[in-house]
């Protein structure tokens, strides 16, 4: 799994930061991309990456402020021009009103899409589940309804002990794959080889928490409980904490408190105000590290990889 930040600014674009959008690349897991928020010019940012819009399977919108949704109609429209049989079905998740806004915008502009969109009106609780993932939403504390998302990968098959399986008579080929996936198999002579006999214990999947705009609140901590990565807004710093509360936002220190109290492993600060110049991001990290040690600040096009239980920064 990889995370690539397409926009990391707050409120409006600046020379250094576009408005909010994050791509979760699930190529190895399911061959698709999940997008979190779609601020203005998100599709322009995508042009500078290897992301293929036709591979976007789901878009999760945290709330209906413009810096989180104004790029959505353009992206949906451009995705139609790509065509092809490989177009991935698309589902949009978001607060009440998202479907009406998207459909009205497309209708008013006479925009025709050559693919269907499924809409999910987000409420607290489980909003998606299949055999690989479960996504849970909670309403945060912002000035309009705003949600955070907890993405949990279900346990992965344990290690297959190939030599042990072959000693039991399992030939090379698809039967080994079935055993790894937890299926028992029957050999040509009628012998049953049980998966549990030739595989290790299931491996823990990753947990990623993506939080929308929010004040420091218990819901953020609940969504972030024992998460491998927490992505938390840090619109303000400790010196401007009074502004954070007034405008329904958080500081870098409050984000660190959430990560610490949730027993998370890593924290990525996002949604950075334009008041902080590039050379000041080090100060944001240093201040937050007094509370929580494992911190990164996301910049536009920052990329991170989660592999084998470790977070690697691919591009700062």
Say if residue 271 carries a ligand binding annotation.
yes
Q: Which two tokens stand for residue 168?
A: 């039991």
DSSP the chain: -EEEEEE-BSSS--SS-PSSEEEEEEHHHHSEEEEEEE-TTHHHHHTTSS--GGGEEEEE-----HHHHTTHHHHHHHHHHH-STTPPPEEEEESTTHHHHHHHHHHHTTPPPSS-EEEEE--SEEEEE-SSEEEEEEE--SSS--EEEEEEEPPBP--B-HHHHHHTTPPSSHHHHHHHTT--EE-TTS-EE-HHHHB-PPBPPPEEEE--S--S-HHHHHHTTT-SEEEEE--B-GGGHHHHHHTT--BHHHHHHHHHHTT-SEEEEESB-TTS-GGGHHHHHHHHTTT-SSEEE--TT-EEEEETTEEEEEE-
Q: Is 67 a residue of the active site?
A: yes
Closest by CA to 284, choosing from 302, 300, 296, is: 296
Q: Which of 67, 228, 237, 300 is catalytic?
A: 67
Say if residue 63 carries a ligand binding annotation.
yes
Say if residue 213 carries a ligand binding annotation.
yes
Integer CA distances (angstroms), 113 to 77, 79, 107, 116, in order = 6, 8, 10, 7
Report d(CA 173, CA 3) in Å as an integer: 34
Report d(CA 176, CA 185) in Å as an integer: 9
Say if residue 65 carries a ligand binding annotation.
yes
Residue 127: partners with Cβ closer than 8 Å, 6 or more residues away: 93, 120, 135, 136, 137, 149
Say if residue 142 carries a ligand binding annotation.
yes
State the binding site for Zn(2+). Answer: 63, 65, 67-68, 142, 213, 271
Binding residues: 63, 65, 67-68, 142, 213, 271
Catalytic residues: 67
């Amino acid at each position: 799994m990889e995370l690539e930040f397409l926009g990391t600014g707050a409120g409006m674009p600046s020379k250094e930061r576009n408005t909010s959008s994050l791509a979760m690349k699930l190529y190895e897991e399911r061959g698709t991309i999940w997008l979190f928020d779609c601020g203005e010019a998100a599709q322009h940012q995508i042009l500078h990456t290897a992301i293929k819009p036709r591979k976007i399977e789901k878009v999760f919108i945290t709330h209906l402020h413009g810096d989180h949704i104004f790029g959505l109609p353009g992206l949906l429209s451009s995705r139609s021009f790509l065509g092809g049989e490989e177009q991935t079905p698309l589902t949009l998740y978001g607060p009440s009103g998202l479907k009406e806004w998207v459909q009205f915008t497309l209708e008013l502009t006479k925009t025709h899409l050559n693919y269907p969109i499924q809409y999910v009106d987000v409420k607290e609780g489980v909003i998606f589940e299949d055999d690989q993932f479960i996504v849970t939403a909670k309403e945060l504390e912002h000035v309009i309804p705003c949600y955070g998302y907890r993405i949990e990968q279900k346990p992965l098959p344990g290690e297959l002990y190939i030599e042990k399986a072959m000693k039991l008579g399992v030939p090379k080929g698809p039967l080994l794959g079935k055993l790894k996936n937890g299926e028992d198999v029957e050999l040509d002579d009628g012998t049953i080889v049980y998966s549990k006999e030739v595989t290790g214990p299931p491996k823990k999947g990753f947990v990623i928490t993506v939080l929308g705009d929010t004040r420091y609140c218990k819901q953020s901590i609940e969504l972030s409980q024992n998460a491998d990565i927490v992505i938390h807004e840090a619109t303000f710093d400790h010196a401007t904490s009074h502004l954070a509360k007034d405008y329904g936002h958080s500081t870098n220190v409050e984000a660190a408190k959430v990560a610490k109290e949730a027993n998370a492993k890593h924290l990525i600060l996002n949604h950075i105000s334009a008041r902080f110049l590039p050379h000041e991001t080090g100060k944001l990290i240093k201040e937050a590290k007094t509370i929580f040690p494992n911190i990164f600040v996301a910049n536009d096009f920052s990329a991170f990889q989660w592999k084998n239980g470790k977070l690697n920064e691919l591009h700062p």
